[in-house]
């Protein structure tokens, strides 16, 4: 009896977990990300994506880069060691330099512009290259938010109005070339570091600051170990919901359509929440004692755009694509 009970309990757990069998194999969609469980992108995936695919797949997220280190997820998917990730254009630019066009400061204008760019025919060659050469499919575009400069110094110690004011500021940027370039373009001295090390580095003073959208500053509690936020809005940042192309191709056409719709619905839910949070959080951060202010954004825009246009990155951008992106904006 005990044995039978155990077996049926195991079977029930399997069914509750949403496991299904295609050709006798369970489909497990393990998703690895550097963000936390309470990050709005993570919440949307758990609440919207997971349940939508539960008839044939188990969505198994892991957070805080515990399964794969930040920046190693695409290779893991490519090698068949991971099924899904929430990846970035900066990570894709490591493999395909032309993706740096989506990492350039002051190019994307807002969340709607990101969606328009992702769904425009201009994105198709980018999309296809990632499938063909990396075995990764980009299902949908997620909104991370407008990145702001967040420093340990008080405004009294250092007021940042133009890129010149960031000279010598040791600014943590994520660890790829595209990110480091953005840090330099802002006028700072960038230091590469994985996201999950940033809180400690800020608290010990190993770095002067970091850049991220306000929802991330709050979710990762960076406001506890910093004093000011300069609203540069230098990058309207995005992520892509990425899935193994081999896994995607192993699904039936109906299942593929469900996965696609689930990803789009999760991206939309996450976008709505992230935008709401972005609107609310200045007040919250000020309540926590942070100084939050606008610099001379035009001076930052001018310096950053000039840096990109004169860079080696711009040489990899396919002819005409920047104009097409701009034409999709306001």
Per-residue contact flags (x/-) with ligand KDO for residues 231 to 270, judged by CB under 6 A = --------x-------------------------------
Residue 56: strand, helix, or coil: coil
Residue with Cβ nearer ligand KDO (47 or 159): 47
Binding segment (CB under 6 A) for ligand KDO, from list 3-11, 16-24, 31-39, 257-265: 31-39
**Are 59 and 45 a contacting pair, CB within 8 Å?**
yes
Binding segment (CB under 6 A) for ligand KDO, from list 34-42, 134-142, 180-188, 253-261: 34-42
Residue 68 backbone dihedrals phi, psi, to 5 degrees: -135, 140
Residue with Cβ nearer ligand KDO (60 or 250): 60
From candidates 32, 39, 106, 274, binder to ligand KDO by CB under 6 A: 39
Q: How far is Cα of residue 173 from the mean position of the Cα atoms in its chain?
A: 13
35 near ligand KDO, judged by CB under 6 A? yes
From candidates 27, 29, 31, 33, binder to ligand KDO by CB under 6 A: 33
Residues 6+ apart with CB under 8 A from 222: 150, 198, 199, 202, 210, 212, 216
Q: Where are the beta strands (DSSP E) in 254-322?
A: 291-293
First to last CA, the chain: 68
Residue with Cβ nearer ligand KDO (70 or 258): 70
Per-residue contact flags (x/-) with ligand KDO for residues 177 to 216, judged by CB under 6 A = ------------------x----------------x---x
Residue 105 backbone dihedrals phi, psi, to 5 degrees: -65, 145
To ligand KDO, the closest distance from the beta carbon of 239 in angstroms equals: 6
From candidates 34, 77, 185, 225, binder to ligand KDO by CB under 6 A: 34
Strands 136-151 and 189-192, sheet pairing: unpaired
Per-residue contact flags (x/-) with ligand KDO for residues 86 to 105, judged by CB under 6 A = --x-----------------
Residue with Cβ nearer ligand KDO (74 or 262): 74
168-172, Cβ contacts within 8 angstroms, sequence gap of 24 or more: 169/208, 169/209, 170/207, 170/208, 170/209, 171/207, 171/208, 171/209, 171/210, 171/211, 172/198, 172/201, 172/202, 172/207, 172/209, 172/210, 172/211
Query: CA 119 to CA 122: how far, in whole Å?
Result: 8
Residue with Cβ nearer ligand KDO (184 or 256): 184
To ligand KDO, the closest distance from the beta carbon of 135 in angstroms equals: 20
Residues engaged in binding ligand KDO (CB under 6 A): 33-35, 39, 88, 174, 195, 212, 216, 239
């Amino acid at each position: 009896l005990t044995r039978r009970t155990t077996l049926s309990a195991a079977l029930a757990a399997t069914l509750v977990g949403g496991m299904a069998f295609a050709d006798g194999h369970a489909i497990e969609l393990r998703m690895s990300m550097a963000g936390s469980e309470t990050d709005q992108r993570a919440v949307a995936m758990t609440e919207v994506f997971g349940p939508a695919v539960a008839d044939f797949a188990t969505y198994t997220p892991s957070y805080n880069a515990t399964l794969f280190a930040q920046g190693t997820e695409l290779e893991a998917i490519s090698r068949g060691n991971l099924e899904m990730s929430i990846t970035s254009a900066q990570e894709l630019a490591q493999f395909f330099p032309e993706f740096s066009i989506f990492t350039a400061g002051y190019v994307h204008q807002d969340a709607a512009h990101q969606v328009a760019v992702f769904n425009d025919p201009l994105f198709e060659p980018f999309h296809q290259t990632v499938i063909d050469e990396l075995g990764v499919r980009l299902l949908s575009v997620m909104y991370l938010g407008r990145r702001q400069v967040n420093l340990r110094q008080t405004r009294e110690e250092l007021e940042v109005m133009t890129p010149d004011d960031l000279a010598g500021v040791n600014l943590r940027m994520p660890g790829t070339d595209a990110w480091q370039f953005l840090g330099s373009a802002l006028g700072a001295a960038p230091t590469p570091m994985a996201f999950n090390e940033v809180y400690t580095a800020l608290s010990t003073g190993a770095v002067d600051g970091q850049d991220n959208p306000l929802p991330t500053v709050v979710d990762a509690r960076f406001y506890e170990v910093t004093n000011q936020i300069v609203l540069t809005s230098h990058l309207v940042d995005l992520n892509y919901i990425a899935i193994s192309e081999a896994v995607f191709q192993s699904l039936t056409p109906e299942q593929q359509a469900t996965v696609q719709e689930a990803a789009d619905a999760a991206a939309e839910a996450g976008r709505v929440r992230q935008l709401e949070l972005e609107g609310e959080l200045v007040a919250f951060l000020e309540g926590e004692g942070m100084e939050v202010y606008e610099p001379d954004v035009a001076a930052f825009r001018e310096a950053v755009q000039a840096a990109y246009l004169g860079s080696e990155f711009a040489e990899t951008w396919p002819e005409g694509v920047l104009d097409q992106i701009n034409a999709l904006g306001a």
